[in-house]
Amino acid sequence: MSFSDEVMTVEQKGKIAHLTLNRPEKRNALNDATIEALDAFFSAVPETARVVVVSGAGGHFSSGLDLSEQVKRQPLEVMAHSRNWHRVMELVQYCRVPVVAAMTGAVMGGGLEFGAACHVRVAEETVQFRMPEGLRGIFVGGGGSVRIAKLIGGDRLTEMMLTGRTYSGADGERLGLAHYAVPEGLALAKAFELAERIAENSPTINTMIVNAIARIGAMPPEAGLYAESLTAALSQTGPDAEEGLRAFLEKRKPQFG
């Protein structure tokens, strides 16, 4: 499966769907058309894909919301726009398959909100993590006050927004904005290396991991523990569980369908 348009390209590479934000002249700022493209893709991830890798063309992951479309909007329009972002970012976070972000250059504002919805984040050491909304007279609207605050804490997000502070990729890995920090030019290769490893897992367990853990974390402890038991019970039935346990006992690599 392969298609392209003016804001995003998608190419199937074996078990991996590679999605590339494709507005390099705008440092891949997320305009309404890009959000529509993300909506279409994550609403119908190809059945052949076991992992999605996301990157940006032209050296930048995403510089954030395309502010040229936001200058004159009424409050209810802004709220509807924000709620649509929330819906699309939930499609990413609760995708059928894991999403790996290869982050380069600018990872700012809405770009970082998008990255925070991904499940595995690789950042080049030269990345610039930034939440500049406070300097623009606006508040975050793409889920950052929830997802980014969970990653680094509300106190640190508050400081980032108040001061416009920039963190490097190495800083981001230390704080939790990224899981891996790699030298410049190596993020995409590392993302594909991780994606290939993840693609060998049971598709069932991958789906359970990316869908259950975040939801369990939002539950009261007793409800979360009960949901964990239900998920564990479901995971240990069916051919994938049988193959995984049999492979362990036979000291071989499992071959999941």
Q: Which residues are catalytic?
A: 113, 133
The candidate with the shortest Cα–Cα distance to 185, out of 102, 115, 100, 120, is 102
The rounded distance, in Å, linking the Cα atoms of 89 and 109 is 14
The residue with tokens 């594909």 is 192
* Other CB atoms within 10 A of residue 71 CB: 6
Residue 239 phi/psi, 5-degree rounding, is: -65, -35
The rounded distance, in Å, linking the Cα atoms of 67 and 29 is 8
If you count DSSP H runs as helices and E runs as strands, how many of each does the chain have, helices first?
Answer: 11, 10
Q: Helices 110-117 and 75-93 meet at what angle, rounded to 10?
A: 30
